[in-house]
A = this chain, B = another copy of it.
Amino acid sequence: MLLDKYKSTRKLSEEIASLMTAEDMQLQSMPDASPVKWHLAHTTWFFETFILKNVKGYQPFREHFNVLFNSYYNSVGEQFKRPSRGVLSRPAVQEILDYRLYIDEAMHKYLAGEISAEERAIITLGINHEQQHQELMFTDIKHAFSLNPLFPALIQCQYTDGPVQSLKYISIDGGLYECGADAEGDFCFDNETPRHSVYVAPFKLASRPVTNGEYAEFIADGGYEDPLLWLSDGWARIKEQGQFCPVYWQGQKGEWSEYTLAGLQTLQPNAPVCHVNYFEACAYATWAGKRLPTEFEWEVVARDQPIEGNLLNLNVLHPQASNHSGATQLFGDVWEWTSSAYGAYPGYQPARGALGEYNSKFMAGQYVLRGGSCATPPGHIRSTYRNFFYPHSDWQFSGIRLASD
């Protein structure tokens, strides 16, 4: 069963890659993004480094891949510098696909044998790690394509708007809640642990994310021109960049279009607003007289909901309007910014060894997002899952859900 999961995950990465040309996969449009070919290699490097290199008799595919495809594991050794990944035209995509094949064969053989619980845990982590990079393949190529004046379409799709439920607020009682994940249970990342008590005051959570139409009203009302709505760093940023709408929007009042993975399309008013950063999310909430939820408020509501929604579907890849009732779209569509800074839970211990670098060293200056997006592989998300990005980051499929006291 782990083998099946391994195989299907590896296959999905290659399906994603098959949507692109070798030239596409070469692009790195900013230091935060990586070429898709690099993602293909790095996820493979993960299994080679943390599993196969410990297997007696294993011969590495290429010695120098250890440096080229190490992302940030100082325990493992040096890393090729991140902002220059886009210069690596060699190894070619084909060589990287050969690398994948070589590792997959070794892994298939390995997985057919006796595996300790600890090794199973690392392989499961490797699978989840690859799923995270699947989402990044989309967000990174989307950023690069968005800078091309031809606005290339990765997939062919004509989005059509649908009805959306009217915005309601779900009231939740205050009290002590157990939040986070139990390390002994199903797979989770170390940053979701330990499960711990949190006192949550009574609050209300919006029944659905903020829509494009609602966000367009904020813009039309002068939202990007009123410093009083913005965090100080956010205001400085939009002034410096002359920003007046979300990063992938184009046009003006009443005539907005949006760059999507299916090309430039007319904005759908009822779909969730997407690719907003934390500053935009907070400014919108202030304008609306509301606030963002904490990550615990979000979790308390989400854990009672089925884990289903507009998750990764190679024919969609964009948030969609939903007309369901109740607490909807908590999973999928858009990652939802919370007001919680990304940090350690009480009693948190990073994983031992190199894998301790996976999550813990990023616990400064970032904010938690919850719920997954339309680019998150099904099966990868859960109510305790903590994604994290800097407040200025907007190249993820990130949106807004409101809350209030």
Instruction: Write the residues of chain A forming the contact surface with B, with a CB cutoff of 8 angstroms.
Output: 21-27, 29, 37, 64, 67-68, 72, 74-75, 80, 84, 86-93, 144-145, 147-150, 152, 176, 196-199, 201, 203, 227-228, 230-235, 278-279, 282, 291, 294, 339-341, 343-344, 346-347, 356-357, 361-365, 391, 405
Contacts and interface: CB of A to CB of B under 8 A. Distances in A.
Contacts of A84: 147
Given A22-B23, A279-B364, A405-B346, A232 B87 contact: no
A364 B21 contact: no
Given A232-B72, A339-B344, A148 B364 contact: no
29 contacts: A21-B89, A23-B26, A23-B89, A24-B90, A26-B26, A27-B86, A64-B150, A74-B227, A74-B228, A80-B149, A86-B86, A87-B148, A89-B148, A90-B148, A90-B150, A176-B176, A176-B199, A197-B199, A197-B201, A201-B346, A228-B357, A231-B361, A231-B363, A231-B364, A232-B361, A233-B364, A294-B346, A347-B405, A365-B365
A24 B89 contact: yes
Contacts of A278: 364
A234 B150 contact: no
Contacts of A279: 364
Contacts of A363: 231
Contacts of A362: 231-232
A370 B147 CA distance: 38
A87 B347 contact: no
A90 to B, nearest CB: 5
A279 B86 CA distance: 30
A216 to B, nearest CB: 24
Contact of A27 (B87, B340, B365, B405): B87
Given A150-B91, A231-B362, A339 B343 contact: yes
Contact of A364 (B87, B88, B234, B356): B234
A23 B92 contact: yes
Contacts of A232: 72, 361-362, 364
B176 A92 contact: no
A293 B231 CA distance: 26
A26 B24 CA distance: 9
Nearest to A234: B364
Contacts of A203: 346
Contacts of A391: 364-365
A144 to B, nearest CB: 6
Contact of A89 (B72, B144, B341): B144
Given A87-B29, A93-B23, A228-B75, A67 B148 contact: no
Contact of A144 (B27, B87, B357): B87
A339 B342 CA distance: 11
A279 B363 CA distance: 11
A89 B27 contact: yes
A334 B88 CA distance: 28
Contacts of A88: 148
Given A198-B199, A231-B363, A232-B361, 5 more contacts: A26-B26, A29-B87, A231-B361, A234-B364, A235-B361
Pick the most buried of A26, A147, A362, A364: most chain B CB atoms within 10 A of its CB: A364
A278 B363 CA distance: 12
A356 B19 CA distance: 44
Contacts of A93: 23
A294 B198 CA distance: 14
